[in-house]
Amino acid sequence: MPKSEKQGVGSSILPLATTMETNLLNKMISVYEDSNNIYKVTSYWEKYCSRLNYLLKNEPSIKYNYRYGGIKKGYEVLQSFSASDVYFDEKPNKFKKLIRLILRLLRLGQFYPLIDNFLLRNKIKEYLNFEYEYTKNELIKNKLNIHSFPSSTFGNPKDKLIVEKSLFTKNHLYFLRRFNFLYEGLDGFKEVNTIVELSPGLGQLQEIIFKFNSNSKIILFDLPYQLFIAFTYLDSVFPNKCEYIQSYDSNTELENGKIYFLNNSNISIIKDLNISVDLFINSRSFQEMEEENVLNYLDFIIYNTEYIYLNFFPQLQKSFYSIISGAAANEKSVRISFIEDNLNNFKKIKTDSLKFVNKGYLYDDRKFINSIYKKVN
């Protein structure tokens, strides 16, 4: 069920790097606090938001280290939406799983990526180089040059590979492969210009898309803390191209060549301004909500959208592991079948499991599925 007014995201007086940033986050939190309960955090994200609140309160320079990770309390939450670039083993053996479990029971889960990172330290460059070569060759198949989409240095990425003066990280290479999947399924983005994403994480997929087409109109929606982090990151990559919209009316105009940031409660702007959306993106956050929240968003999304791209778990389950980590899944997991059943007049045109690269080898991870849907008349 949606959370009550008492289950907000925390205090808005935060010692950020500048007064302008503090004011921006205060605005985002104010809009959130005034929003309808349907837009409040669900149980999955309640504790994550509390941790982000702690992090922004106690680490004034956090935006300069989003991607570095660290042992300080709170940094581990950045990994929950792919904001950290600490390289660690994504398919740990039983011994490593036991270490991770013990650390989380002791509320020291933030140490695991760093411990595993230390164990892998002599091999990380080798592993990253393997992933770079694989990703580069996948893009070449579509006549795309990987060096047209280097990662930003902002956020101090910890584990990185520099090739021909271009910087790449494991996360960035992962998002490049997702972009490549979209490129194939959408005929090279020939009919895609206006893009909406709900819960964009740090914004790395949109960083790549905007580098591909700087005339795109990108509209991003999220909860206040995550929205703020995405804004500060993308604003550093694309100065003077990012704009936060606190409120809107019938005279509000959204231009091409800009990235707009709105609270999730303002997703009604799509209907109210009759925005024609070429592509809507959601990466698993639908499965971190209750069914009624998903239906509310879909009501605005399918209204005037041509393509939908979902990156999802076939099934998201509550586990002992997720509970002790402080971010338990919801009472009832949202299955992809539920989402697809409510995509009225949409047909699936491309689907595949995501190719992961871990410790220098490829594997098909059926836990993550990519699908593109096209509106049919």
Q: Has residue 12 got a pLDDT over 70?
A: no
pLDDT confidence of residue 90:
63
Q: Which pLDDT tens digit goes with each residue over 70-127?
A: 655 566 677 777 777 776 666 667 877 788 788 878 767 667 777 777 777 778 888 8
The answer to whether residue 365 is domain-embedded is: no
Q: How many structural domains does the chain have?
A: 1
User: Which structural domain, as residue segments, surrounds residue 70?
Assistant: 19-119
pLDDT confidence of residue 70:
61
The answer to whether residue 5 is domain-embedded is: no
The pTM assigned to this predicted structure is: 0.86
Cα 202 from chain centroid? 6
The answer to whether residue 66 is domain-embedded is: yes
Of 23-27, 255-259, 315-319, 348-352, highest mean pLDDT: 255-259
The answer to whether residue 35 is domain-embedded is: yes
Q: Which pLDDT tens digit goes with each residue over 265-324?
A: 999 999 999 999 999 999 988 888 889 999 999 999 998 999 999 998 765 555 444 444
pLDDT confidence of residue 42:
75
pLDDT confidence of residue 321:
42
Contact 292, 38 (CB under 8 A): yes
Q: Which pLDDT tens digit goes with each residue over 122-156?
A: 788 888 898 999 999 999 999 999 999 999 999 88
The answer to whether residue 40 is domain-embedded is: yes
The answer to whether residue 84 is domain-embedded is: yes
How confident is residue 181, by pLDDT bands cut at 50, 70 and 90?
very high
How confident is residue 14, by pLDDT bands cut at 50, 70 and 90?
very low
- What percent of the chain has pLDDT above 90? 51
Q: Can you give the three-state secondary structure of the chain, one letter per residue?
A: CCCCCCCCCCCCCCCCCCHHHHHHHHHHHHHHHCCCHHHCCCHHHHHHHHHHHHHHHHCCCHHHHCCCCCCCCCHHHHHHHCCCCCCCCCCCCHHHHHHHHHHHHCCCHHHHHHHHHHHCCCCHHHHHHHHHHHHHHHHHCCCCCHHHCCCCCCCCCCCEEEECCEEEEHHHHHHHHHHHHHHHHCHHHCCCCEEEEECCCCCHHHHHHHHHCCCCEEEEEECHHHHHHHHHHHHHHCCCCEEECCCCCCCCCCCCCEEEEEEHHHCCHHHHCCCCEEEEEEECHHHHCCHHHHHHHHHHHCCCEEEEEEEECCCCCCCHHHHHCCCCCCCCCCCHHHHHHCCCCEEEEEEEEEEEEECCEEEEEEEEEEEEEEECC
The answer to whether residue 37 is domain-embedded is: yes
The answer to whether residue 135 is domain-embedded is: no
pLDDT confidence of residue 71:
55
